Amino acid sequence: MFFKRLSLAQLYGCLVLSVAIYIAVSSCQSGSKAALDNPIIAEGKQLAQQHCASCHQLPAPELLDKETWVKHVLPAMAPNLGLEVYPDGLYYAGSKAAISYENWQKLIAYYQTLAPEALKPADKPEAVVADWALFSLEKPQADTSQTAMTTLVAMDTIGHKLYSSDAFRSDLTRWDLHLKPTLFKQLNSAVVSARFFRDATGNERAAFTTLGTMRAADISKGELIMVSPTAQSTTDSVTVATELPRPLQSVAADVNKDGLTDWVVCGFGHLKGGLYWLKQQKNHQFTRLPIREIPGAIQAEIGDFNADGWPDLMVLFAHADEGVWLFLNDRKGGFTERNLLRFPSVYGSTSFQLVDFDKDGRLDMLYTCGDNSDYSKVLKPYHGLYIYLNQGDFRYKQTYFYPINGCTKAVATDFDQDGDLDIATIAFFADFKDNPSESCLFFEQQKPLQFRPHALPVSSYGRWICMDVNDVDQDGDADLVLGNFSKTFIIQEGLKPTWDTHLPLIVLRNKKR
């Protein structure tokens, strides 16, 4: 197919170019900056800046190994520039392609030359203590007829019930304080986000966001559903929105201050998605309005960040153009947009939290990256836990990093009640072959921004994709609930589950009290 599209002259030109690039790549020391003295490699860098940086932050070649760049990432990116990719690794640039075949080969040569043969594991800044720290394990009785594919664990702090959802069964399960389950509601797809609140009349309500599909595809079947947890029947649920693009979170806010509760939805999507405002009308119906129609919205925090009395948004985007964006309410039914932090497109951002680490009255940022299910399925030394201190005027400075392969979520709170913030983390894409204990860590803060990491021995009970931090047993301290997504998304070759595939969740009870 490829050869039928090219004339003999074109084939000869491609052959000459390929030989020239092969000589250029072979003559350059792997990963050497001196390689940029070669005109072909230098032009490849300029082409990467021109074409790649137009969509997202330009990723440095050193972020991935040669094979991952050449065989996986660049072939996946080529169609975005109008190139056709064939199974044998050949490319074709038609008349509508944004880059010529010749220039594409130079761009490849740039990454292939400067990328390392393999990524070196990160050095751990502090020694890890393997113990239970403050916690003790409690788990439900496993149903061996079921495979755990948990997508949600969420504690209702009003009704004091624990909820979970499962990707296989598309259900919503409620657990009592003794971890006895009851089917609460059957849904069209799995729940990934929950919010519990009281309405204007004081009655408890729950908002559940369903994903629609776990597949990385543009299938918009997500929903936002409102339910009364105290009702005798769950048939009284109200569907606020349908056909949402793989939404991961919904948060409540009266965006336009008309006295009606609106919702902001993070539609991660795939190639299509975005951040949306579900505006409540006077008839209590909702209209969907785009705030930033770019895929990858994963988490939003509501707050009055410029102290003008109106609700603003801070949002993490985790696909292609990764970073944290601030959306300031313009008081006219819209927002002004500002980028606060930007990350390379291979980071795989997973979560953030606004919390004051240094007690200066300004909200700092706890950030994690570790999603590893796309085109670069290799362990990455920059995955892990980050702290960015607020410098004022919406400027943030990185002051802490702890490497965790495949880090999925971090939550900071004062677990040991000594007056400072500790951190709990989970890692769905941990190094399960050589370091499975990093799948759940507890960081005990001993001095300002100095932490003692504890590896909680729970890797045999599940593979943790979701976590909630709340006072499960109502004794005044923060407990952990971990959800087990036990099958699929395995990126390490030859790895078979060494964890329990039946337990849907576990509770780590805080023994401080």
Domain ranges of the chain: 28-114, 129-510
- Please state, as a whole number, how many other Cβ atoms lie within 10 Å of the Cβ of residue 447: 8
Q: What b/e readout covers 374-400, taking b as 16+ CB neighbours within 10 angstroms?
A: bebbbbbebbbbbbbbbeeebebeeeb
- CATH architecture of structural domain 129-510: 7 Propeller (2.130)
Residues 287, 291, 294, 296, Cα dihedral to 10°: -90
Residue 92 in contact with residue 101, Cβ under 8 Å? Answer: yes
pLDDT band at 334 (very low <50, low <70, confident <90, very high): very high
Write the CA distances from 465 to 69, 262, 439, 488, integer angstroms: 27, 28, 9, 12
pLDDT of residue 271: 92
Nearest to 133 by CA among 416, 404, 410: 416
pLDDT of residue 35: 85
pLDDT of residue 16: 43
pLDDT of residue 12: 43
Q: Would you say residue 231 has pLDDT above 60?
A: yes
Ramachandran region, residue 432 (left: φ > 0; alpha: ψ -120 to 50; beta: rest): alpha
pLDDT band at 236 (very low <50, low <70, confident <90, very high): confident
pLDDT of residue 2: 40
Residues 15, 17, 19, 24, Cα dihedral to 10°: -170
Segment 312-337 mean pLDDT: 97
Most confident of 86-90, 196-200, 340-344: 340-344
pLDDT of residue 316: 98
Greatest alpha-carbon span in the chain? 79
Ramachandran region, residue 458 (left: φ > 0; alpha: ψ -120 to 50; beta: rest): alpha
**Separation of alpha carbons 132 and 466, rounded Å:** 19
pLDDT of residue 116: 96
pLDDT of residue 237: 87
Place of tokens 């240094």: 358
**Separation of alpha carbons 91 and 105, rounded Å:** 9
pLDDT in tens, 176-215: 989 999 999 999 999 999 999 998 889 999 999 999 999 9
Place of tokens 């056709």: 84
pLDDT of residue 26: 55
Q: Which two tokens stand for residue 362?
A: 């300004």
Q: Over pLDDT 70: what percentage of the chain? A: 93
Q: Would you say residue 443 has pLDDT above 70?
A: yes
Segment 242-265 mean pLDDT: 97
Write the CA distances from 183 to 129, 167, 169, integer angstroms: 38, 14, 11
Q: Is 462 helix (H, G, I), strand (E, B) or coil?
A: coil
Which of 14-18, 39-43, 174-178, 201-205 comes out lowest in average pLDDT? 14-18
Q: Would you say residue 102 has pLDDT above 50?
A: yes
pLDDT in tens, 346-370: 999 999 999 999 999 999 999 999 9
Q: What b/e readout covers 234-266, taking b as 16+ CB neighbours within 10 angstroms?
A: beebeebbeebbbbbbbbbbebbeeeebbbbbb
Residue 382 in contact with residue 369, Cβ under 8 Å? Answer: yes
How do strand 349-355 and strand 335-343 relate by DSSP bridges? unpaired
Nearest to 234 by CA among 169, 175, 296, 174: 174
Residue type, 221: K
Q: Which two tokens stand for residue 502?
A: 């039946």
Q: Would you say residue 4 has pLDDT above 50?
A: no
pLDDT of residue 31: 58
pLDDT in tens, 112-160: 999 999 999 999 888 899 999 999 999 999 899 999 999 999 999 999 9
